[in-house]
Structure 1
Amino acid sequence: MSLAARLWADNADVVAEVLAHPFVRGIGDGSLDRDLFAGYIAQDAFFLESFARAYGLAIARSGDTDTLLALAELLNGVREELRLHASYAASWGIDMVGVEPRPATLAYTEFLLATAATADLAVVCAAMTPCMRLYAHIGTSLDAGTAGPYADWVRTYADPGFEQVAALLEKLLDRLGDDGAAVRTAYRRAMRLELEFFESAFTARD
């Protein structure tokens, strides 16, 4: 079993909590309050911009051409997600200007940026992989046919193209990483922050 597969398996408890969370279930059956989803989209756009900056920091610190090119491709994938958010903002009238990040959003972005700026690239990959793998898993676990207004969101993360991007990051983690404490801690921390992000989206009222 690859390193990425072991880490994913070892965090199956958090994955189960995410899939069972009322925010995610509400997307899947289309019942989620529209205002909660709009707030989530604004927060997620803020998060994705920091995610892109974390890739940028990793690119600047990459030590070989293969790593640099893989990270550049991953950064391009974030652009596609931001386009989805921009589409929702335009069609739903979501104000994306001057978004105030919630505590859960800040906790996640600050963790990623600090890791990307200071940690080994293997640990950086471990910190960033849960977001990609978890969303690919959510997308294929939900049914766009029952998601109602959130069908496009589900289709985006269920798309084979998104799976390919997630797999690319996992391959980079497998190549650079080891099964050490720093890698495991970063992966687990990111997975818990994902759950806290969905909880914040469900309980906050902007």
Structure 2
Amino acid sequence: MLHALLWQSNADLVARILDHPFVQGLDDGTLDRESFRRYVAQDAFFLRAFLKAYAVAAAKCDDFDQARVFHDLMGGVFDEIQLHQNYAATLDIDLSNVRPYAATSAYTDFLQRVAWHESLAEIIAAMVPCMRLYQYLGSELAASLRTDHPYKDWITTYAGEEFAQLCTRLESLLDELATDVPTVHEAYRCAMQCEFDFFSAPLEKDS
């Protein structure tokens, strides 16, 4: 399966992300509140671009069943946005006034460029890493989850069955529409590198 090949081809970056100080802080609950606050704001900004990329992908579909998959995936993004809105209420974040960090802009600009100018294969390849990586991280971090964990909601959301099913549907679409060509590998790799950079930015006060 192409999705498995791409995931394995990026195992080095996946391992680096799992060991990233931000992710390890999420894991043991020691991530400082301000870094998480910055992350929530940036991720909410990012999700708007992710939602638009799904919408463009759906518009490019000639097949009704494929378009339905993107419709359902957009619903998953709305659920993620709700999670961030809940955090925003408790962390006093104004999500309507977020200044994107350089890493965030690089990621969203990449997504929008691929969505508007590339084929469905490249669009999906650019979007799968976010979905599969978060599902992987949620599952890994859930293994040591405790009832009083400060980031329990984040971990359980991405470790949940509903999110896993959406991820699997997107990967199935990748297998259906994409082939093992350099442009697909490049889109996947670029997105995974953007994920690493995205986790780094909230740890830096001047990102």
Name the Cα RMSD after superposition: 1.2
- Scaled by the length of structure 1, what TM-score is found? 0.97
In structure 1, distance between residues paired with 2:104 and 2:72: 24
For residues 51-82 of structure 1, the C-alpha deviation after alignment (integer angstroms, 9 at most, x for no partner) is 00001111111121111111111111100000
Q: 60-69 vs 105-114, which deviates more? A: 60-69
1:197 aligns with 2:189: no
Deviation of 1:201 (Å) = 1.6
Q: Following TM superposition, where does structure 1 have runs of at least 4 consecutive aligned residues deviating by more than 4 angstroms?
A: none
Aligned to 2:89: 90
Amino acid aligned to 1:144: L
- Scaled by the length of structure 2, what TM-score is found? 0.96
SS in 2 for 1:54: helix
1:49 aligns with 2:48: yes
In structure 2, distance between residues paired with 1:114 and 1:146: 42
Amino acid aligned to 2:27: G
Aligned to 1:158: 159
1:181 aligns with 2:182: yes
Deviation of 1:144 (Å) = 2.5
Amino acid aligned to 1:192: Q
Q: 1:23-172 alignment to 2 at 5 Å? A: 23-142=22-141, 143-145=144-146, 148-172=149-173
Gaps of 5+ in 2: none
For residues 28-67 of structure 1, the C-alpha deviation after alignment (integer angstroms, 9 at most, x for no partner) is 1000010000010000000001000001111111121111
1:7 aligns with 2:36: no
Closer/same/farther in 2, CA of residues 147 and 180 from structure 1, 3 Å limit = farther
Matched-pair contact (CA < 8 Å) for 1:42–1:99: yes
Gaps of 5+ in 1: none
SS in 1 for 2:31: coil
In structure 2, distance between residues paired with 1:56 and 1:94: 26
